């Protein structure tokens, strides 16, 4: 029976498990594909996947990502249509605006701004489809008009952008995965790759996993061990991927570079936005991209359920915590965001939660969606070809689904589908040839 172990229970791990399980079930003659997800953080979705804004774009991407972006957008729409995404994860059309708040204080342009947060801003105030990429991989704000606060509707080349509630999408995917037989090991951590025959690197690979328990003080206990047979291994551990790679492939000549860019956010309520149930039929949500005189580029999204998400304060200096749930936002950063929310929506803004999480960025600004070459795994590791086994096996091997930076929510479903097709040895639905370099 072919088996795949996925390391990381964020949106990339879940999307891959979802499509791998779905595609495998489409061929009733194939041997069942055993799929495991291994996730060490005791709190599920404490990472960027659970705290992101939930803004989905079809055509805001560079040429290398355009194909995957468009596939992913169609899959988001299809998933929402088939599973009542509106009710289950707040899937909704969203209209994007550039809001000029400079009021004569001078144009805000992230490129000339001395604050590094602004230079690593998430979103573009310039209308798609030809945004200027910045160091975070998204487009950076163009100079805003110097006078007055005016909202300008951004056109999208192929229709409006979309919004969703992140934790709810993650929960939906996990629920579906479990219903299809995917096994979640949580909290648990992969510690070693061994072989069934220790002297033969071409024999069945096994991922050794420590089962964990955590006390209320955060102390971790190892309560057991599991050996998971593994034909294909997917590394989808976001910013933690380099340390996972080093642990499993200690003799590898190089390690994929993924760096964490910290992002603060706030979820809030306000009289200004009561949600779509209180709006006229077919009314959209909103995405507002603006600048702040203190030198960053806030983004505000209204969500179907009546919540607001506000972010835009970033920091490249914050170290990555050992576990996603250990990231604690500092008060000053949250207050900066709340001040913007109040300026945009009014003084009644009630903060529900302040968040801090880390975008997985690569030096090239492009994600890595690829099978790792045998030479890059180091001596003693030889992925087995398992194609043809009951029609359900693909190449076998080690795969990377990492480094989606500020666009992981938009690109997750396409990435999961393409990676599943690679694992099953099928032609891929999008050309990701340009995402194989690292």
With respect to ligand FAD, which residue has the nearer C-beta, 102 or 362? 362
Q: Min. distance of Cβ 165 from ligand FAD in angstroms?
A: 11
Which residue, among 260, 361, 366, 360, has the nearest Cα to 315 in the 3D structure?
Answer: 260
| Residue 328 CB neighbours (<10 A) | 10
With respect to ligand FAD, which residue has the nearer C-beta, 30 or 37? 37
With respect to ligand FAD, which residue has the nearer C-beta, 237 or 308? 237
Torsion sign over Cα 147, 154, 72, 363: negative
> Binding to ligand FAD by residue 189, rule CB under 6 A?
yes
Among residues 127, 392, 394, 406, the one that binds ligand FAD under rule CB under 6 A: 406
> Binding to ligand FAD by residue 311, rule CB under 6 A?
yes
Please, which of residues 320-379 interact with ligand FAD by CB under 6 A?
324, 357, 359-360
CA distance 100 to 144: 6
Please check whether residue 395 is in contact with residue 406, taking contact to mean a CB–CB distance below 8 angstroms: no
Q: Min. distance of Cβ 122 from ligand FAD in angstroms?
A: 6
With respect to ligand FAD, which residue has the nearer C-beta, 58 or 371? 58
Please, which of residues 270-299 interact with ligand FAD by CB under 6 A?
none
> Binding to ligand FAD by residue 263, rule CB under 6 A?
yes
Pick the stretch among 10-18, 83-91, 376-384, 386-394 that binds ligand FAD (CB under 6 A): 10-18
Give the three-state DSSP class for 162.
strand
Query: Tokens in use for 9?
Result: 């229970």
What binding mask, one character per residue, do residues 18-57 give for ligand FAD by CB under 6 A, x or -? --------------------xxxx-----xxx--xxxx--
Q: Which residues, in sequence order, are CB contacts of 336 under 8 Å at separation 6+?
A: 264, 292, 294, 296, 313
Q: Min. distance of Cβ 412 from ligand FAD in angstroms?
A: 7
CA distance 36 to 31: 16
> Binding to ligand FAD by residue 134, rule CB under 6 A?
no
In whole angstroms, how far apart are CA 328 and each of 210, 321, 323, 395?
26, 9, 11, 41
Residue listed under structure tokens 């990435």: 415
Cα 297 to its chain centre, rounded Å, is: 21
> Binding to ligand FAD by residue 7, rule CB under 6 A?
yes
Summarize as ranges the residues that interact with ligand FAD (CB under 6 A): 7-13, 38-41, 47-49, 52-55, 122, 189-190, 236-240, 244, 263, 265, 311, 324, 357, 359-360, 402, 404-410
């Amino acid at each position: 029976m072919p088996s795949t172990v996925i390391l990381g229970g964020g949106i990339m791990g879940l999307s891959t498990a979802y499509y791998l399980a779905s595609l495998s079930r489409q061929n009733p003659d194939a041997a069942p594909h055993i799929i495991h997800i291994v996730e060490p953080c005791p709190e599920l979705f404490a990472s960027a996947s659970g705290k992101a804004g939930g803004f989905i774009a079809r055509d805001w991407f560079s040429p290398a990502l355009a194909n995957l972006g468009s596939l992913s957008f169609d899959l988001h729409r299809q998933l929402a249509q088939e599973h009542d995404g509106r009710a289950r994860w707040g899937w909704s059309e969203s209209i994007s605006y550039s809001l000029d708040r400079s009021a004569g204080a001078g144009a805000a342009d992230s490129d000339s701004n001395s604050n590094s947060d602004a230079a690593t801003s998430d979103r573009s105030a310039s209308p798609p489809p030809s945004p200027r990429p910045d160091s975070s991989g998204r487009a950076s704000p163009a100079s805003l008009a110097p006078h007055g606060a005016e909202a300008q509707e951004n056109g999208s080349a192929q229709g409006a952008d979309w919004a969703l509630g992140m934790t709810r999408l993650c929960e939906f995917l996990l629920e579906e995965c479990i219903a299809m037989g995917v096994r979640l090991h949580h909290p648990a951590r992969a510690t070693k790759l061994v072989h069934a025959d220790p002297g033969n690197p071409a024999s069945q690979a096994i991922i050794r996993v420590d089962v964990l328990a955590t006390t209320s003080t955060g102390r971790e206990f190892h309560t057991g061990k599991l050996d998971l047979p593994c034909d294909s291994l997917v590394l989808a551990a976001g910013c933690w991927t380099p340390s996972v790679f080093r642990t499993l492939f200690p003799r590898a000549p190089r390690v994929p570079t993924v760096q964490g860019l910290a992002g603060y956010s706030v979820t809030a309520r306000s009289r200004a936005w009561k949600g779509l149930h209180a709006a006229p039929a077919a009314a959209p949500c909103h995405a507002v991209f603006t600048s702040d005189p203190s030198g960053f580029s806030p983004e505000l999204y209204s969500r179907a359920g009546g919540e607001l998400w506000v972010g835009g304060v970033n920091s490249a200096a914050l170290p990555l915590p050992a576990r996603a749930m250990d990231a604690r936002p500092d008060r000053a950063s949250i207050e900066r965001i709340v001040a913007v929310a109040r300026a945009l929506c009014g003084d009644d803004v009630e903060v529900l939660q302040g968040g801090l999480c880390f975008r997985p960025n690569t030096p090239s600004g492009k994600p890595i969606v690829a099978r790792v070459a045998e030479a890059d795994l180091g001596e003693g590791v030889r992925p087995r070809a398992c194609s043809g086994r009951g029609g359900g096996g693909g190449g076998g091997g080690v795969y990377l689904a990492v480094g989606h930076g500020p666009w992981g929510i938009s690109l997750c479903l396409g990435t999961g589908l393409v990676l599943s097709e690679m694992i099953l040895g099928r032609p891929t639905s999008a050309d990701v040839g340009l995402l194989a370099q690292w």
